[in-house]
Amino acid sequence: MPIKPPRICGCGKIVPANVICLCQRRRKAEADKRRPSAHDRGYDSKWRRESKAFLTLPENRFCVCGCGRLADMVDHIKPHRGDMKLFWDRNNWQPMANSPCHSSRKQSLERQETRKP
């Protein structure tokens, strides 16, 4: 089985494959300090109740990506970025499996979208 080679981090250090550089950990920690809590972003008891009801509908049973997994979370199709009208718009909701569909695929796509000029 081939082994992934080390990579060069943005700070210039050589980092082993599958290891997060110390500078990236610091940046993430600083960003997390500035980010409001999940409750402050709207993910409260009302959200838990509404998202659970959304997932009980027969058409929302399986992950929207087509992987065949049971959906266990509601994802916003278009990131709401604090817009509460978009946050509560059910047309902007889709059923997803938390891992790996939302945790890696969806977030990777969202990062690519924000990097486009």
User: Which amino acid type is present at position 19?
Assistant: V
15-33 exposure pattern, b = at least 16 Cβ within 10 A, e = fewer: beeeeebeeeeeeeeeeee
* pLDDT recorded at residue 1: 64
Greatest CA separation for the chain = 51
Identify the residue with better confidence: 113 or 84. 84
Phi-psi region of 22 (alpha: psi -120 to 50; beta: other; left: phi over 0): alpha
pLDDT greater than 80 at residue 17: yes
Q: How confident is the model at residue 114 (pLDDT cuts 50, 70, 90)?
A: low
Q: Looking at residue 117, what is its pLDDT?
A: 58
Q: What is the pLDDT of residues 52-110, one digit of tens each?
A: 999 999 999 999 988 899 999 999 999 898 999 999 999 999 999 987 887 766 777 76
For residues 71 and 61, the answer to whether their CB atoms sit within 8 Å is yes
pTM for the complete prediction? 0.70
Residue 13 is which amino acid? K
Q: At 39, list the tokens.
A: 């409750």
Q: What is the mean pLDDT of residues 32-54?
A: 94
Amino acid, single-letter form, for residue 17: A
Residue 18 has a pLDDT of 87
pLDDT at 4 over 80: yes
